[in-house]
């Protein structure tokens, strides 16, 4: 992993493309999972997360796939394994590891966010610079969140109904109990449905994700 001591770190939680994922999306498209789409989503997300002065890291599951991810991504981006457990346990462990390595502030995001921009990531860190006791969240269209940022390990991962439309509300309630002030950045949708894929293809036609969707034979939207 790259040196994160004193750094603002944006960590992308990602499955290795070879390990599958996006089962609901591929089922709705009527085709088998395609690692090329998963790779495209990850690389577009990493491009969008490239805010000035930010160190990027990919946290990978399964842990044995770190070399696979390292071979796909640009040089200078760190790679580290995810822990086991549910999503909350894995995010808690990732925050813990990065702060133990000396990170100054940490923002976690998913790997299916081709519409994320450097300005969104920069805004999250600016909120944390202004308020060390803040919890920054990026609301997702499905009632969850696509981004969470803090300057210490936030105690907001217990008793959350992961995958439900209550995740954001439950996390905000946990933050209030912990005395963390919640700050929201732009709302975004991840790519979990053909409609979301279509919106990416229309809004970001030059993205890798859009090229996959429009490629004849991909099984996407062409």
Q: Answer whether residue 181 is part of any domain.
A: yes
Inter-residue contact 20 to 26 (CB < 8 Å): no
Q: Is residue 221 part of a domain?
A: no
Summarised one tens digit per residue, pLDDT across range 182-216 is 999 999 988 999 999 999 999 999 999 999 998 85
DSSP string, 75-142: TT-EEEE--SSSHHHHHHHHHHHHHHTT-SEEEEEES--TT--HHHHHHHHHHHHH-TTEEEEEEBTT
8-61 pLDDT, tens digit each: 999 999 999 999 889 899 999 988 889 999 999 999 999 999 999 999 999 999
The token pair at 67 is: 């070399």
For residue 86, is it within any domain?
yes
Domain that holds residue 107: 8-214
Q: How many domains does the chain have?
A: 1
Asked whether residue 191 is domain-assigned, the answer is yes
Question: Is 222 inside any structural domain?
Answer: no
What CATH number is attached to the domain comprising 124? 3.90.550.10
Whole-prediction pTM: 0.95
Spatial contact of 35 and 131, defined as CB atoms under 8 Å apart:
no
Query: Model confidence over 78-105: pLDDT tens digits?
Result: 999 999 999 999 999 999 999 999 999 9
146, 110 in Cβ contact below 8 A? yes
């Amino acid at each position: 992993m790259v040196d994160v001591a004193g750094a603002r770190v944006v960590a992308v939680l990602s499955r290795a493309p070879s390990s599958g994922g996006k089962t609901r999306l591929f089922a709705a498209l009527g085709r088998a999972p395609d690692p090329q789409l998963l790779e495209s989503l990850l690389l577009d997300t990493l491009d969008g997360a490239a805010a000035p002065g930010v160190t990027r890291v990919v946290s990978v599951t399964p842990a044995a796939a770190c070399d696979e991810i390292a071979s796909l991504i640009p040089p200078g981006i760190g790679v580290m394994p995810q822990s086991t457990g549910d999503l909350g346990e894995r995010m808690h462990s990732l925050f813990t590891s990065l702060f133990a390595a000396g990170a100054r502030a940490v923002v976690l995001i998913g790997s299916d966010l081709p519409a994320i921009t450097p300005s969104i990531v920069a805004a999250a860190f600016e909120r944390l610079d202004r308020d060390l006791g803040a919890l920054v969240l990026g609301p997702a269209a499905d009632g969850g969140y696509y981004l969470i940022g803090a300057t210490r390990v936030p105690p907001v991962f217990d008793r959350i109904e992961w995958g439900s439309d209550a995740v954001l509300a439950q996390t905000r309630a946990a933050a209030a109990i912990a005395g963390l002030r919640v700050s929201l950045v732009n709302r975004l949708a991840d790519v979990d449905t053909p409609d979301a894929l279509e919106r990416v293809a229309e809004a970001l036609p030059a993205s890798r994700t859009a090229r996959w969707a429009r490629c004849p034979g991909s099984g996407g939207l062409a």
